[in-house]
Amino acid sequence: MKALIIVDVQNDFCKNGSLAVPDADSIISLINHKINNDFSVIVMTQDWHPQDHRSFASNNPGQEVFSIGTLDGNPQIMWPDHCIQNTKGAEFHKDLDINFAKIIQKGMDKTVDSYSAFFDNNGKNKTELSDYLKEIGVDEVDICGLALDVCVYYTAMDAIKEGFKTTVFANLTRGIKQEDIDKTYDELLKAGVIIRFD
């Protein structure tokens, strides 16, 4: 059985958001079409950070936004504040069809960032996603959403590690850094992820 994983289509990653991904809003109607036509299992991930998350530049005196610092001993991009729990920015985009979706929240531990829908960035803490999918008989996942070069990438890489046949729909995702997109696709392909451009 196949599931669709929709990664972080939240206000802060869309137009006028604090960490807006270029052209993000253009994929929403396409994702809705997928939701309503092709899948019986839908999962949506939601960045859900506490205000004092240590990946925010504002919580690291002397660190500029997008500079590289450290978090729990590992290199960490210092992000602008985004997807703070119970704020408008953390909500799903108003045009996204979220009916019948299983919601997986991530990034709640202030001491470690969490790009993947399956694990935190240290690989120590696992979300419920893998167990949930396997329990209901899912062995294949299609992935879309935001952003290609961060959370979509890490979710796809961990899906492969968890044993799922994994596809990323290129026309249903957008990246933060356009110059990194080709490199991201190359790494996904090397890991065994299927890339579809239709």
C-alpha R_g of the chain: 16
**36: alpha, beta or left, given left = phi > 0 and alpha = psi -120 to 50?**
alpha
Residue 8 designated active-site: yes
Residue 186 designated active-site: no
Q: Count H helices and E strands in the chain, helices first.
A: 4, 8
Enumerate residues 6+ apart whose C-beta is below 8 A from 99: none
What are 141's strand-pairing partners? 3, 166
Given the residues 8, 113, 149, 158, the one annotated as active site:
8
Given the residues 81, 149, 151, 158, the one annotated as active site:
151
Structure tokens at 69: 């610092």
Residue 151 designated active-site: yes
Given the residues 14, 83, 97, 106, the one annotated as active site:
106
Whether residue 147 has a cis bond before it, omega within 30° of 0? yes
Q: Is 28 exposed, middle or buried (0-12, 13-18, 19+ CB in 10 A)?
A: buried
Catalytic residues: 8, 106, 151
